Structure 1
Amino acid sequence: MTSKPRILLVEDDLELGYIIKEYLESKEMTVDIVTDGLEAVSVIITNQPDLVVLDLMLPNLNGIEVCKKVRHEYQGSILMLTASADPFDQVVGLEIGADDFVLKPVEPRILLARIRARLRQPEPKPSNPIIHPTHQDLSYGELNIKKSARQVLIGNHHVALTGPEYDMLLCLVESIGEIQDRDALFHATRGIEYDGKSRMVDVTISQIRQKLAEFGYANSHIKTIRNRGYLFVPE
């Protein structure tokens, strides 16, 4: 029998914490609650849960700092809870290693869907995998995507994309000339249907543009099509 996923919920609002715990445990998950940021760092590194649900605002150490401290010693998924819809908070969270965001007030069914999607993700690839040439590789000017290695290059420079960033860029490049709406991009990176509320697509696109631009790849290659989505244009 497959063991139940072990979830660590880091949330200082105990009333909300127990509501989430009860709901997730009714869905065959094991949930432990920690209410303090400093304690969370120790518990995450020591216990290595399958997934961490991490509140942004915590006593002693906020969620961003917790994520930063544990990311190099914890390979599981980190899903952050935030009451802020500000894309800047999400950009910072993604940059230091968060895998996804859920806005408060939390809808338990949405949280469950996000958790299940993260638990289905394959193990992360090494940060510098060996490149093996393959007929599936994609190349448009300076942009090269090594699909077998899940690696992106601008010229000879490796672009350090997260898993969701790579998946979203690949979805756009493989659909060259076709507008990809948020539903398609969200599903390509999360494996679940877009809930109409998450800003993850826009935040992830912003991160991709920023990282490609560091190596001189113009933002204009990924165009925003107002009210429709995004489009990859190689030239």
Structure 2
Amino acid sequence: MDHHASASSLPSDSQSRWAAEVLLVDDDAPMRQLIIDYLARFSLRGEGAANGTEMRQALARTRFDIIILDLMLPGEDGLTLCRWLRKEGTTPILMLTAQSEPTDRIIGLELGADDYMAKPFEPRELVARIQSVLRRTQDNQGVRRGATRTHIRFDGWKLDGIRHQLESPSGMIVPLSNAEVRMLWVFIEHPRQVLSREQLLDATRGRSIEAFDRSIDLQVSRLRQKLGDDPRAPRLIKTVRGEGYLFDAQKIGN
């Protein structure tokens, strides 16, 4: 069955029944269609793309709520496409990786992917991960636990949680990934408190993710880089050896 044809033939009044638009980028056509059909059972409208070219064409047609991106693709691989997607915007990315490649998962998270799943996986778990990522994305957009702030200042910096960007004390705009926004909010909400890697993992990605301590370290490293924090003597995000990290901003306010 041609998915693009079936999706475009949907009557306009049925569009409202979809809870979210999902783009699945995977070169395995039978599996792609099976997943798309399964997602529909949970009011998730799926569209398929076999490679980077088809992905860009789909993105030009439709505004997707989440992109499921296979790591192993012909031509441009998943990591290359993840890097491109992060330069273009902040649409959440869930990466599909091989069970035996933890390094690729870590790199994907570092490049800005919001979550990953190792193949093979249960379709119901994929749905749960999609729903979890979408909930966290809503949190980033202001529907956050008991919080209404979307902008906050600290030590001369300004975080814009809507546009996913930082403004430096000199006025330079620094783009952030979804994961970086979440991590920075966690630090800001817990100033001068030691947060363990497990706490950061839980707060930014949820307990469904395997505890990759290294992925948290890499995200902290990227965040320090964007904040201009010297990794050898960090001023804002400090390492507490054997315990975790501490956000040492002196002034936090609206």
Q: How does 1:76-87 map to 2 (within 5 A)?
A: 76-83=91-98, 84-86=101-103
Are 1:58 and 2:73 matched, yes or no?
yes
Does the CA contact (< 8 Å) of 1:100 and 1:200 recur in 2?
A: no
Residue 168 of structure 1: how far off its partner (Å): 1.1
The unaligned stretches of length 5 or more in structure 1 are 126-133
- Relative to the length of structure 1, the TM-score reads 0.70
Residue 35 of structure 1: how far off its partner (Å): 2.3
Does the CA contact (< 8 Å) of 1:4 and 1:28 recur in 2?
A: yes
What amino acid is aligned across from residue 174 of structure 1 in structure 2? E
Other structure's SS at 1:119 match:
helix
Q: How does 1:129-208 map to 2 (within 5 A)?
A: 137-140=152-155, 143-146=156-159, 152-158=166-172, 159-190=174-205, 192-197=206-211, 200-208=215-223
**Of the candidates 198, 213, 227, which is equivalent to residue 228 of structure 2?**
213
- Relative to the length of structure 2, the TM-score reads 0.65
Residue 155 of structure 1: how far off its partner (Å): 3.0
Q: State the percentage of identical aligned residues.
A: 31
Relative distance call for 1:110 and 1:55 in structure 2 (3 A) is: same
Counterpart position of 1:101: 116
Does the CA contact (< 8 Å) of 2:92 and 2:178 recur in 1?
A: no
The unaligned stretches of length 5 or more in structure 2 are 1-15, 142-148
**Of the candidates 115, 119, 129, which is equivalent to residue 130 of structure 2?**
115
Other structure's SS at 1:86 match:
helix
Does the CA contact (< 8 Å) of 1:183 and 1:194 recur in 2?
A: no
Whole-angstrom distance in 2 between the partners of 1:2 and 1:226:
50
Aligned CA RMSD, in angstroms, stands at 3.8
Whole-angstrom distance in 2 between the partners of 1:223 and 1:215:
10
Residues 73-120 of structure 1, C-alpha deviations (whole Å, 9 max, x = no match):
6663332222332266226632xxx44433444454543233113333
How many residues get paired?
A: 220
